[in-house]
């Protein structure tokens, strides 16, 4: 069995820590929040995020970052995306050369347009950094509901190593060399999920949501392939799989925030009510800037930005999408008029 440390004890980090402990690994769960450490230590459960899910005895709780970075076979970065750089910068002094790291958060840094793995590699350049992504809500993983994800790595052996640690009879893990595709799929889907939530908040039906999901994956593919991702990845778990679950589930903080915005709440009111980090809000500007940088059309992402940051009403944003210039669904597909 392996020794695994989690940097970040929110719902996702806690759920995965519980699962790996049940896999038989020795697990350390770190948090920078003193109140969270106290709650986890005293109650052996995350009462705010995963009530009723008990931490096994082989999970050690700590607020000591050095202690959480030394002597582990694998370090899991499970802090929310806005805190990835700060955490990596602090951890860098304690992480050994060649350390296996896997990032399980999703997002793009607004100021640099870097993916989260790129940030970790920049701050901890001598580590071996992989990513894990896919349709996987913490609430379901923590109670053993069947789930399937994908690990992306530059190194096949590293991917297989992480696959072996995480995989069990209810948590299936695939491997892939397409880190770019996996990260882009996991990040952009949060922005599309905001749009799907807005649609539900406005009272629209299944037709509208299906359109947003379908045209949303088209936008993800355009950007992802322009940035070097493989088109196959976007039809897989970290692409259409993650998009579907995030656009349709009541567990999705991005969908729920969008729903509240569709109901008339301000962005701040929606985020306060969700009371968790809404990754799509933090990634939306970055995704739109990447679209401009790579000269790809992303009208849904554009309208989400207008609603979030420019005061456009949700109703107007939907109208803007529907009344754009007429076009072919797949412009590269020619007509056979012979």
The domain segmentation of the chain, as residue ranges, is 3-177, 180-322
Phi, psi (deg, nearest 5) at residue 152: -110, 135
DSSP letter assigned to residue 31: -
With left for phi above 0 and alpha for psi between -120 and 50, is residue 137 left, alpha or beta?
A: beta
Nearest to 239 by CA among 184, 286, 276, 305: 184
Distance, in Å, from the CA atom of 44 to the CA atom of 106, rounded to the nearest integer, reads 26
pTM: 0.96
Of the options 3.30.70.270, 1.10.1040.10, 1.20.5.510, 3.50.50.60, the CATH number for the domain spanning 180-322: 1.10.1040.10
| Residue owning tokens 């109208």 | 319
Q: Annotated catalytic, 47?
A: no
pLDDT tens-place values along the chain, 338 residues long: 999 999 999 999 999 999 999 999 999 999 999 999 999 999 999 999 999 999 999 999 999 999 999 999 999 999 999 999 999 999 999 999 999 999 999 999 999 999 999 999 999 999 999 999 999 999 999 999 999 999 999 999 999 999 999 999 999 999 999 999 999 999 999 999 999 999 999 999 999 999 999 999 999 999 999 999 999 999 999 999 999 999 999 999 999 999 999 999 999 999 999 999 999 999 999 999 999 999 999 999 999 999 999 999 999 999 999 999 999 998 888 888 76
Looking at 3, 97, 106, 189, which residue is catalytic? 189
For residues 27 and 6, the answer to whether their CB atoms sit within 8 Å is yes
CATH architecture of 3-177: 3-Layer(aba) Sandwich (3.40)
């Amino acid at each position: 069995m392996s020794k695994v440390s989690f940097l970040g004890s929110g719902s996702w980090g806690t759920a995965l820590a519980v699962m790996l402990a049940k896999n038989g690994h020795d697990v350390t769960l770190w948090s920078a929040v003193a109140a969270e450490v106290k709650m986890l230590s005293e109650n052996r459960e995350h009462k705010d995020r995963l009530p009723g899910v008990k931490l096994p005895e082989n999970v050690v709780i700590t607020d000591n970052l050095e202690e959480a970075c030394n002597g582990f076979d694998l370090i899991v970065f499970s802090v929310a995306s806005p805190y990835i750089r700060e955490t990596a910068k602090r951890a860098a002094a304690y992480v050994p050369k060649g350390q296996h790291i896997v990032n399980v958060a999703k997002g793009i840094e607004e100021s640099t347009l870097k993916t989260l793995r790129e940030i970790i590699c920049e701050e901890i350049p001598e580590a071996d950094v992989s990513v894990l992504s896919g349709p996987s809500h913490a609430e379901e993983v923590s109670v053993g509901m069947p789930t399937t994800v994908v690990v992306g790595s530059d190194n096949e052996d590293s991917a297989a190593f992480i696959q072996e640690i995480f995989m069990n009879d209810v948590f299936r893990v695939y491997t892939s060399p397409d880190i770019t595709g996996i990260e882009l799929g996991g990040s952009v889907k949060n922005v599309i999920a905001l749009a799907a939530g807005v649609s539900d908040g406005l009272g629209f039906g299944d037709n509208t949501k299906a359109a947003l999901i379908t045209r949303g994956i088209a936008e993800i593919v355009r950007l992802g392939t322009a940035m070097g991702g493989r088109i196959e990845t976007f039809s897989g778990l970290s692409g259409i799989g993650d998009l579907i679950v995030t656009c349709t589930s009541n567990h999705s903080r991005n969908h729920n925030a969008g729903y509240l915005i569709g109901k008339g709440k301000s962005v701040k009111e929606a985020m306060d009510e969700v009371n968790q980090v809404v990754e799509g809000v933090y990634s939306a500007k970055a995704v739109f800037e990447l679209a401009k940088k790579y000269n790809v059309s992303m009208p849904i992402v554009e309208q989400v930005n207008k609603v979030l940051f420019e005061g456009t009403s949700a109703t107007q944003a939907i109208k803007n999408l529907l009344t754009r210039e007429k076009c072919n669904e797949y412009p590269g597909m020619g007509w056979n008029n012979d």
